[in-house]
């Protein structure tokens, strides 16, 4: 017995050492898998951002063409530039065409002229009209302006600059004219203000996200106004009042399940209940807000409960001990102290709601709406849905606008999350 005992350690060590190389190999491999996994995640993120940003930056620039044009009263058929009705019906396209014809006098045949007129967007005429409305004395004068180019020209010019020209939608004649304009310094890209100042359009060069952004803000406003008070109230009930019974358990089970129900189901709920049963109109931010409220409530309730839990019981005792009632204790002490945490949760919930698309498709916020909504009962779309709609459009110019819209959406989300983190760092009390 004692003999084997003495020898055993040596033998064990041998065995251990013999297996050691294999075991360390396994250890290294395992660790390597971990690193690889982290790298996959980070790389995917980097690739996503790279793709979006490289495609989207172009969307913030828009090709413009310089043209000298005359506000000819005869062509425009406007006698008095202060008469809104006349200006509204003015033939501004005629002015544009005349100017183009003057710039390219060699183009004479009908087909060529039509092709030539197509290098400018129909939006160019609208811009001229706006200019005349602002400055009626322009009538009869000649001015030089940078006018909005058509999306095909825009795509072609941008691809040309990158070295692989996309010629599929640009005729050879146009390519020549464009080269002529480039050489003359009469074609350039400018900051795409229209992207931020107009609603949707079927013409990519005229399409903007203002309508969608306002729609998103209105929808979020409804969501916040409803979900924050209701969520906080529910959290207060569950933390401060709820007795331990079946009903309370049932509420809790419901909340945790709702938190994991797919968002599209909330869309079905909105469609069947708000639109089908209550007869509310489709496509309006009010209904969108209601649906998103139901969807974000679990998030807000859960984070508010955590914030309320973090308020130390000693504060509650202090308040009760000098005769504060339960409601006074909650309103005077618990809620103010939990507020930063609850707001943080609410902002994160709002960020989720801002990025949500599927349920809003269900309630018709996917309609093509050019006007910027004025209120919560105007038809509207939201930013993610706008992105979805644009990504579905065949025009190449919409690709970069979609990416640009995504960048705007991501910028909003980054701001909201930064605000949430800042709020938590700055205002949250450590006990």
Partner 1 sequence: MESSVLLPVLALLCALAFVAGRSRSLAVAGVGGMRILNSLPFYYGSLTAFWCALPSLAVVLIWSIFDGVIIENMVHALVPPAAVEAAGGNIGLVMNQVRNLAAGHLSADSVEPAIAAAADRLVALERINRWALTGVALSFALIGAILAWLKINPQLRARAKVEDIFRWTLLACASLAILTTIGIVMSVLFESMRFFSKVPVTEFLFGLEWSPQTAIRADQQGSSGSFGAVPLFAGTLLIAGIALLVAVPTGLMVAIYLTEYASPRMRNLIKPVLEILAGIPTVVYGFFAALTVAPVIRDMGVNLGLDEWLTISSESALAAGLVMGVMIIPFVSSLSDDVITAVPRSLKDGALGLGSTRSEVVKLVVIPAALPGIVGSVLLAASRAIGETMIVVMAAGLAANLTANPFDSVTTVTVQIVTLLVGDQEFESAKTLAAFALGLVLFVVTLGLNYFALYIVRKYREQYE
Partner 2 sequence: MQQTLEQKPPVSPKVSAPPMAPTFSIPEPAQMPVSADYKTVGVPLVENAKFAMRDVNVFYGEKQAVFNVNLDIGENEVIAMIGPSGCGKSTFLRCLNRMNDTIDICRVTGSIQLDGEEIYASKMDVVPLRARVGMVFQKPNPFPKSIYENVAYGPKIHGLASRRVDLDEIVETSLRRAGLWEEVKDRLDAPGTGLSGGQQQRLCIARTIAVSPEVILMDEPCSALDPIATAKIEELIAELSQNYTIAIVTHSMQQAARVSHRTAYFHLGKLIEVNDTQKVFTTPDHALTEAYITGRFG
Give the one entry of partner 1, partner 2, none that residue 261 binds, where binding means its C-beta sits below a cut-off of 5 to 8 angstroms depending on kind: partner 1
Q: Which is closer to partner 1, CB of 307 or CB of 362?
A: 362
> CA 348, CA 342: separation in Å to the nearest integer?
10
53, exposed or middle or buried, with CB in 10 Å at 0-12, 13-18, 19+? middle
> CA 127, CA 7: separation in Å to the nearest integer?
97
Number of residues that bind partner 2 (CB under 8 A): 20
Q: Binding of partner 1 at residue 146 (CB under 8 A)?
A: no
Only segment of 57-65, 89-97, 102-110, 313-321 that touches partner 2 (CB under 8 A):
313-321
> CA 377, CA 369: separation in Å to the nearest integer?
14
Q: Binding of partner 2 at residue 392 (CB under 8 A)?
A: no
Please list the helix, strand and coil fractions of the chain in percent, rounded to the nearest 5, in that order. Answer: 70, 5, 25
Q: Binding of partner 1 at residue 312 (CB under 8 A)?
A: no
> Angle formed by the axes of helices 397-427 and 2-56, to 10°?
120
> CA 222, CA 220: separation in Å to the nearest integer?
5
Only segment of 85-93, 129-137, 152-160, 324-332 that touches partner 1 (CB under 8 A):
324-332
> CA 286, CA 42: separation in Å to the nearest integer?
38
- Give the residue, chosen from 391, 395, 419, 423, that forms a contact with partner 1 under the rule CB under 8 A: 391
Q: Binding of partner 1 at residue 221 (CB under 8 A)?
A: no
Residues 36-55 that bind partner 1 (CB under 8 A): 36-38, 40-42, 44-45, 47-48, 51-52, 55
Q: Binding of partner 1 at residue 422 (CB under 8 A)?
A: no
Q: Which is closer to partner 2, CB of 16 or CB of 427?
A: 427
Give the one entry of partner 1, partner 2, none that residue 193 binds, where binding means its C-beta sits below a cut-off of 5 to 8 angstroms depending on kind: none
Give the one entry of partner 1, partner 2, none that residue 250 binds, where binding means its C-beta sits below a cut-off of 5 to 8 angstroms depending on kind: partner 1
Only segment of 201-209, 286-294, 296-304, 331-339 that touches partner 2 (CB under 8 A):
331-339
- In order, the DSSP letters of 149-162 are BPHHHHHHHHHHHH
**In the structure encoding, which two tokens stand for residue 127, read together?**
């811009």
For residue 157, give Cα distances in angstroms to 146, 148, 179, 282.
16, 13, 9, 40
Number of residues that bind partner 1 (CB under 8 A): 87
Q: Binding of partner 1 at residue 202 (CB under 8 A)?
A: no
Q: Binding of partner 2 at residue 27 (CB under 8 A)?
A: no
Q: Binding of partner 2 at residue 28 (CB under 8 A)?
A: no
Q: Which is closer to partner 2, CB of 82 or CB of 332?
A: 332
- In order, the DSSP letters of 241-275 are I--SSHHHHHHHHHHHHHTTS-HHHHHHHIIIIII
């Amino acid at each position: 017995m004692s003999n084997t005992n003495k020898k055993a350690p040596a033998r064990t060590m041998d065995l251990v050492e013999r297996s050691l190389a294999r075991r360390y190999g396994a250890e290294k491999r395992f660790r390597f898998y971990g690193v690889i996994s982290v790298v996959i995640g980070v790389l995917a993120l980097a690739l996503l951002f790279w793709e979006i940003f490289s495609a989207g930056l172009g969307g913030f620039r828009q090709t413009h063409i310089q043209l000298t044009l005359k506000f000819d009263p005869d062509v425009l058929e406007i006698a008095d530039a202060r008469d809104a009705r006349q200006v509204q019906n003015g033939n501004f396209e005629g002015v544009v065409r005349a100017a183009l014809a003057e710039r390219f006098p060699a183009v004479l045949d009908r087909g060529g002229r039509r092709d030539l007129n197509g290098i400018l967007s129909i939006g160019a005429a609208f811009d001229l009209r706006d200019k005349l409305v602002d400055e009626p004395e322009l009538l009869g004068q000649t001015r030089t302006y940078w006018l909005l180019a058509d999306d095909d020209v825009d795509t072609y010019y941008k691809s040309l600059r990158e070295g692989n020209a996309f010629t599929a939608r640009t005729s050879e004649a146009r390519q020549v004219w464009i080269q002529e304009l480039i050489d003359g310094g009469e074609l350039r890209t400018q900051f795409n203000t229209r992207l931020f100042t107009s609603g949707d359009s079927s013409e990519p060069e005229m399409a903007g996200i203002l309508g969608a952004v306002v729609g998103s803000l209105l929808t979020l406003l409804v969501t916040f106004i409803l979900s924050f008070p209701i969520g906080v109230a529910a959290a207060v009930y569950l933390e401060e009042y709820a007795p331990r019974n079946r009903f309370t358990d049932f509420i809790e089970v419901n909340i945790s399940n709702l938190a994991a129900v797919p968002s599209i189901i909330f869309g079905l709920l909105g469609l069947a209940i708000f639109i089908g049963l209550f007869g509310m109109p489709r496509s309006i931010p009010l209904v969108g807000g209601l649906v998103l409220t139901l969807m974000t409530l679990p998030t807000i309730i859960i984070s508010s409960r955590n914030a309320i839990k973090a308020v130390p019981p000693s504060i509650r005792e202090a308040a009760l001990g000098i005769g504060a009632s339960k409601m006074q204790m909650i309103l005077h002490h618990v809620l103010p102290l939990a507020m930063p945490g609850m707001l943080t949760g609410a902002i994160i919930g709002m960020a989720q709601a801002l990025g949500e698309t599927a349920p809003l498709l269900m309630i018709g916020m996917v309609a093509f709406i050019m006007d910027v909504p004025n209120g919560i009962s105007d038809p509207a779309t939201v930013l993610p849905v706008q992105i979805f709609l644009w990504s579905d459009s065949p025009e190449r110019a919409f690709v970069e606008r979609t990416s640009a819209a995504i960048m705007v959406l991501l910028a909003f989300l980054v701001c909201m999350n930064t605000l949430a983190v800042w709020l938590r760092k700055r205002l949250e009390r450590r006990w």
